[in-house]
A and B are shown apart, each in its own frame.
Chain A
Amino acid sequence: MKIGVYVCECGSNIAATVDVEDIVERAKEFPNVEVSRVYKYMCADPGQEIIKKDIEEKGLDRIVIAACSPRMHEPTFRAVLEDKGLNPYVLEIVNIREQVSWVHENKEEGTEKAASLLKGAVLRIALMEPLERKKVGVTHKALVIGGGIAGIQASLDLADMGFKTTLVEKTSSIGGKMAQMDKTFPTLDCSQCILSPKMVDVGRHPNIELLSLSEVVEVDGYVGNFKVKIKKNPRYVLEEKCTLCDDCVPVCPVIVHDEYNQGFAPRKAIYIAYPQAIPASYVIDPDACLGIDPLICSKCKDVCGPEAIDFDMQPEIIEEEYGAIIIATGYETYPIENIGEYGYGTIPDVISGLDFERIISSGGPTGGKILRPSDATVPKTVVFIHCAGSRDPSKHLPYCSKVCCMYSTKHALQYKHVVHDGTAINFYIDIRTAGKDYEEFYQRAAEEDHVIYIRGKVSEVFQDGDKILIKSVDTLTGETVELHADLVVLATGMVPSEGTKEMASLLNVSVGINGFIREAHPKLKPVDTAIGGVFVAGTVTGPKDIPETVSNASGAASRAAGILSQDELEIEGTVAKVEESLCRGCGMCVEACPYSAIELKAVNKYGHTVQVAFVNEALCKGCGSCAAACLNGAINQLGYTDGQILELISALGEQ
């Protein structure tokens, strides 16, 4: 056996805290080491060439590289080995950057630590066997969960690339939050006008199967081969028969709050979310309808000409296989009633940003007139409070919700366009307009439409007669200020939706401290998750505006297409392996596995039927939890066998 050791300086990243020359010299004394060298940047082409040359000339059969995290350059160096005919798994990368030089200040201690890690790696790699990468087939079909603008865009992109795509939406129509908005910043395009063509495209695209009123309830399988159960709830109206004639609505006796209009308008128990809804069909709200079990009323059914209403529809479970999944389950607005001092829910004229969208929308409850909720008068002074919930780590949300500066500016500007002699005042902490044409939009609001900006956080609002008294501060003058307003709009922050939380747990993807799904890498893999074949689009990973969501969704679609377009996928060789003769079928490994990759199977052992653990290699991520949990030592983690780990420990324990 001939081991080659290569130590990287990474400029001064490593060399400043680790005496690289020293550890290279020490490595020469380690067992089986044929050659030990240092180079400034091992990952650079000349660095790779050094290794290739040594493999060729000295006949090396194991390579140890002390450099940065294997998450950075493992693929680079594996390719070097493969290029020279070595198995890619006889490579060991010792992370002496993130785990040594970047976390230590004392060069002597850093050098000692690097040396013992290096020795462990040399001892461990000596026991390494070449491993094989298995191949699995791919189902050329995508699942997109969530029918907001992110899900719509991802579905359309995949469908246009020729992949069959299922779009699952929980509510009766796709469109999501964007469908509730009146206009979009910074161009003031009508939201529905730019969204509805895409919705129509989804409805008629031959490659898209749209499942509304549906939820993903179970996901099994692995990259390229997911087995998914989708529960399709009954619409009670046959989509293909409904002609949208509206005859059913006048006769329906049940009136409830219309959630599309944020509760400011009534709707019937049979309704269509909004005129542009897709699927273009009415729907019965089973919680409100008097016709569904027991059948008390069937007025809508009696008047329905095309006989589209069926009270006996039942939920159905659809089972389907997919190669890739995109989570696009979006956000909810922060429950601003939690901010007691702002009075949402107790003062009728304190409303949320989304409430304002409906009030100002020409398709909304007031037909586009700006009327305040309490007495339906036109407000003459409107105060917009930024950061309602956001940037408040002590009680609410620690993060900036990113879109509120812009949408409050948009609201103020829209208000001034309707009420010319009105006053629109924004109370802000900072104005953040980082987006194309955003700063210009903000300046235009101030300059052309005389929107007033006061820097300071509102402390409290009170009902004072028919007006609202606002107490705040103007940090530019350093004075506390108070004023009366007719309407207060809170710039509500974004939180992950319930659906996002549910899908994160169902698909086993990790979430960050704020509940948003964690990307595989925040900068370089922004639409991947740690689970192969599962991608994320839009606000599931954090607050985003519409342009960012759309490009994010297109990114997720193209990443998913990277899997769907292949016939076979290679999976990592470092998987768990069960030694059947040692397994006693206790199932502790099944419990320990975070990826549901192990199950017990009945096998015939010496004439007896016994349970033994079986590892699905495509699901296995090589984390080693099962190997650690197994009492009999029946599971070995390939590449990290007990023997190898013991060698590593013995090297680390030498001091």
Chain B
Amino acid sequence: MSFEYLEFGKEEKDFIEKIEEISGQNVYSCYQCGKCSAGCAFSSSMDMTVNQLIHLIQLGQKRRVLEANTHWVCASCLTCTVRCPREIDVAALMEAVREYHLREEPEKIIISEIPKKAYDKLPNIALVSNFRKKTG
């Protein structure tokens, strides 16, 4: 198994701060109990559990976080938010990752160019996030 190299430089810190800024949450509050993942109805469809994603945010692992599908699978049902013992709005964190992703690549979705028939297949949450991004 190859070793994942951990760095704690400016890029990592900027990523953590941006996620915190968008979500209004303190990612360091999470002590990795895993209750969010345990209660998530979609955990089985995620390639990384919710707490693992938060752990990687704590470590500033931007690439790994953005590669995951976890935040896209999240339906914002808020079960995690309600149950978190550390009072973290986990759903807000997932939303923040989605927004970060979309802000990172502003040209990826140009709404006017999306074919009408694609609307049915696109995750609504992605579109909503995208609209929100446009509002600044």
User: Is A423 part of the contact surface with B, judged by Cβ < 8 Å?
Assistant: yes
Question: In the complex the two chains form, is B59's CB within 8 Å of A452's CB?
Answer: yes
| Smallest CB gap from A478: residue in B | B52
Question: In the complex the two chains form, is A482's CB within 8 Å of B5's CB?
Answer: yes
User: Is A655 part of the contact surface with B, judged by Cβ < 8 Å?
Assistant: no
Question: In the complex the two chains form, is B7's CB within 8 Å of A477's CB?
Answer: no
Question: In the complex the two chains form, is A482's CB within 8 Å of B4's CB?
Answer: yes
| Contact status of A455 and B3, CB under 8 A, knowing A476-B55, A477-B55 | no
> In the complex, A471 Cα to B51 Cα: how many Å?
23
Task: Flag A414-451 by CB within 8 Å of B: 1 or 0 each.
Answer: 00000000010100000100000000000100110011
> In the complex, A447 Cα to B28 Cα: how many Å?
5
Question: In the complex the two chains form, is A452's CB within 8 Å of B58's CB?
Answer: yes
Total inter-chain residue pairs, C-beta < 8 Å: 54
> In the complex, A411 Cα to B1 Cα: how many Å?
32
Q: Nearest Cβ distance between residue B53 and chain A, in whole angstroms?
A: 10
A454 CB contact (under 8 Å) in B2, B3, B59: B59
Task: Flag A452-465 by CB within 8 Å of B: 1 or 0 each.
Answer: 11110000000000
Interface size on A, residues (CB 8 A): 22
B3 CB contact (under 8 Å) in A381, A423, A443, A480: A480
Question: In the complex the two chains form, is B8's CB within 8 Å of A446's CB?
Answer: no
> In the complex, A453 Cα to B26 Cα: how many Å?
15
Question: In the complex the two chains form, is B1's CB within 8 Å of A479's CB?
Answer: yes
Question: In the complex the two chains form, is A476's CB within 8 Å of B28's CB?
Answer: no
| Contact status of A480 and B31, CB under 8 A, knowing A425-B8, A447-B26, A454-B59 | no
| Smallest CB gap from A423: residue in B | B8
Question: In the complex the two chains form, is A447's CB within 8 Å of B29's CB?
Answer: yes
User: Is B73 part of the contact surface with A, judged by Cβ < 8 Å?
Assistant: no
| Smallest CB gap from A442: residue in B | B31
When distances are taken between beta carbons in the complex, the residues of chain A under 8 Å from B48 are 477
Q: Nearest Cβ distance between residue A294 and chain B, in whole angstroms?
A: 58
| Contact status of A480 and B4, CB under 8 A, knowing A446-B28, A446-B29 | yes
User: Is A217 part of the contact surface with B, judged by Cβ < 8 Å?
Assistant: no
> In the complex, A476 Cα to B57 Cα: how many Å?
13
> In the complex, A371 Cα to B55 Cα: how many Å?
30
Q: Nearest Cβ distance between residue A473 and chain B, in whole angstroms?
A: 9
When distances are taken between beta carbons in the complex, the residues of chain B under 8 Å from A480 are 1-4
When distances are taken between beta carbons in the complex, the residues of chain A under 8 Å from B5 are 481-483
Task: Flag A175-207 by CB within 8 Å of B: 1 or 0 each.
Answer: 000000000000000000000000000000000
B52 CB contact (under 8 Å) in A451, A476, A483: A476
User: Is B110 part of the contact surface with A, judged by Cβ < 8 Å?
Assistant: no
A446 CB contact (under 8 Å) in B1, B31, B52: B31
When distances are taken between beta carbons in the complex, the residues of chain B under 8 Å from A483 are 5-8
When distances are taken between beta carbons in the complex, the residues of chain B under 8 Å from A479 are 1, 4
| Smallest CB gap from B56: residue in A | A477
Contact residues, B68-116 vs A (CB, 8 A): 86
User: Is B32 part of the contact surface with A, judged by Cβ < 8 Å?
Assistant: yes
> In the complex, A471 Cα to B2 Cα: how many Å?
11
**Chain B CB within 10 A, most for which of A381, A425, A476, A481:** A476
Task: Flag A359-391 by CB within 8 Å of B: 1 or 0 each.
Answer: 000000000000000000000010000000000
When distances are taken between beta carbons in the complex, the residues of chain A under 8 Å from B55 are 474, 476-477
Question: In the complex the two chains form, is A476's CB within 8 Å of B4's CB?
Answer: no
B6 CB contact (under 8 Å) in A431, A453, A476, A481: A481
Contact residues, A465-519 vs B (CB, 8 A): 471, 474, 476-477, 479-483
A sample of 6 inter-chain contacts (CB < 8 A) reads A423-B8, A451-B28, A452-B59, A477-B56, A481-B3, A483-B8
Interface residues of B (CB under 8 A from A): 1-8, 26, 28-29, 31-32, 48, 51-52, 55-56, 58-59, 86
Closest 9 CB pairs of A and B: A423-B8, A483-B6, A482-B3, A446-B28, A447-B29, A481-B4, A479-B4, A480-B3, A476-B55
